Amino acid sequence: MDFLQAIIFGIVQGISEFLPISSTGHLILTGRLLGLAQSEFLKSFEIAIQLGSILSVIALYWRPLFTDRETIKRLAIAFVPTGILGLIFYKIVKLFLLASNTVVLWSLFLGGVLLIIFEYWHKEKEEDSDSIAKISYGKSFLIGVAQSVAMIPGVSRSAATILGGLALGVKRKAIVEFSFLLAVPTMVAATALDFYKNWQQFSLNQFQFLAIGFIVAFVVALASIKFLLNFIKKRSFIAFGVYRIVLALAFWLLVLR
């Protein structure tokens, strides 16, 4: 990896983390396009760089994250399923799934189909929860279960969380913001676990690349969050579903043929 590649990874991460298109999947495909082998460093880099995007959430939403007890309690409950399942399946995800382009592409493709079908099926109701404080503890836990599916590269943590919340009767803006906030404990825990297990393998130069990607991801993610909040005011996620399908097919036909 070089400095330009680290910047490219940071841009891709910042754009894709909060959109329902899978940041991990995009990072894996970016590595393939740049000709980088799926080394242990690259796998850890793809996990750790996501903290840059998460820092943007803290910058924009620090008040509910650290001072709103009701929000904190719901985030803690929603984190439990992912935290437990993440510990159980860490080795499988790291050793096998993160190295599989096939898993990523099938996840992107099927996830795109599901997004489109869901948007045509889903109808928001007047009684749906319109704020994080109105999301019940039970629903918070189930949203966390939905998020845990995103351990599969290409699924998209954002998409799984948002669709899970919408299906459970949470209004679009509320579940999108809940997804932003839930990313903080989820990705901090994932990065901390991976760093604890693999930090000895990082060289000084590799830490420099990580720092560059981290900073770029932070700046780009700020814009991505604001874009998504404006986007959902008038539009559904169908366009993202179409994008996922086109990306998967294009990669299959042009890169893996």
Confidence of residue 79 (pLDDT cuts 50, 70, 90): very high
Output phi, psi for 22, to 5 deg.
75, 100
Asked if the model's pLDDT at residue 98 lies above 80, the reply is no
Output phi, psi for 129, to 5 deg.
-65, 125
Name which of 244, 230, 248 is nearest 118 in CA terms. 244
For residue 170, list its beta bridge partners: 129
C-alpha–C-alpha distance, residues 157 and 47, integer Å: 13
pTM of the model: 0.87
Q: How many domains does the chain have?
A: 1
Asked if the model's pLDDT at residue 257 lies above 70, the reply is no
Instruction: Supply the pLDDT for residue 10.
Output: 92
For residue 26, which amino acid is it? Answer: H
Asked if the model's pLDDT at residue 90 lies above 90, the reply is no
Range of the domain at 224: 3-254
Q: Which of 46-50, 83-87, 166-170 has the highest mean pLDDT?
A: 166-170
pLDDT digits (tens, 9 = 90+) for 201-247: 667 777 788 888 889 999 999 999 999 989 988 888 999 999 999 99
For residue 153, which amino acid is it? Answer: P
Tokens linked to 104: 């990523």
